[in-house]
Amino acid sequence: MTQPADSPERINTIKPFGEIVTGDIRDLARMKELSQNIHTVLHLAADPNASSTWDVNLNTNIIGTYNTFAAAKHAGCARVVFASSIHAVSGYGKSVQVKEHDPVNPGDLYGVSKCFGESLARYMAEQEKLPSICIRIGAWLPADQMTEDFAAAHLDTFISARDLNQLIEKSIEADHLSFAILHGTSAGMFRRLDITQTMQQVGYHPQDDASQFIPPLKALDLASRLLAHNLVDGRQESGLRDDVT
């Protein structure tokens, strides 16, 4: 299991990169205080349990998200990058590849809270003039911590740490965007979230393919076993062979 964000181990890991302060996103006054002199707010705080109850989603994921945006507006921040989730559109089912512009369709109350965050982000961008970017993050977990069952279940939604870091950095630097919904998955043959528009909008170029990156999946050698049903396979001849020789 990954360590809590406020664990001593995690805090010691990030200490060399800047000042560390703590606060509760449910406390608007504290959030206003912490947002002073901040250029970009990266909002990653939430309860990510897909089975969480309404009171948890309301207090942490909805009120906490509102406080984060309101504090950023109050402090005159330049941008908010909001960590949304695939759960905002997981109601479409696993047979549908969701586009960035498709309407929200949450699969659980956690997803509902993320839909709220996306809606709030658009309101803040268009009505309050606070540029806001939403990233629908897929399945994130260090590859070396994945069991075979977990890896197989998340083959089409996986995002590696370095790909997610890249996408967050691109979102922070996207001065040309006032509002956008971006899709956060790595590269690969199977993508439940289409990333075409995301790549075009912010120049995101994922480096990792779940089938090659995650040890239990890499052993299956899916890249070479799965047919492309064209000449790339090298298992069929060109129909032009008699006319071009």
The string of pLDDT tens digits covering residues 13-30 is 888 888 999 999 999 999
Residue 80 CA from chain centroid, whole number:
14
Residue 2 has pLDDT above 60, yes or no: no
List all residues 6 or more positions away from 219 whose beta carbon is below 8 Å from its beta carbon: none
Q: Delineate the domains of the chain, giving CATH numbers in brackets.
A: 8-244 (3.40.50.720)
Q: What is the model's pTM?
A: 0.87
Q: What is the pLDDT of residue 226?
A: 66
Phi and psi at 215, nearest 5°, equal -50, -50
* Cβ(191)–Cβ(185) below 8 Å: yes
- Which residues have C-beta within 8 Å of that of residue 226, sequence separation ≥ 6? 189
Q: What does DSSP say about strands 79-85 and 40-43: parallel, antiparallel, or unpaired?
A: parallel
Phi and psi angles of residue 69, each rounded to the nearest 5 degrees, phi first: -70, -45
The larger pLDDT score, comparing residue 234 to residue 187, is at 187
In DSSP terms, 81 is beta-bridged to 42, 133
Q: What is the pLDDT of residues 142-189, one digit of tens each?
A: 766 777 777 777 888 999 999 999 999 999 999 999 999 999 999 988
Q: CA 70, CA 64: separation in Å to the nearest integer?
A: 10
Question: 62-76, 148-162, 224-238 — which is least confidently predicted?
Answer: 224-238
Environment class of 108 (CB within 10 Å of its CB; exposed 0-12, middle 13-18, buried 19+): middle
Q: Which of 4-8, 24-28, 201-205 has the lowest mean pLDDT?
A: 4-8
Q: Which residues of 78-99 are buried (b: 16+ CB within 10 A; e: fewer)?
A: ebbbbbbbbbbbbbbeeeeebe
| CA gap 225, 228 in Å, rounded | 9
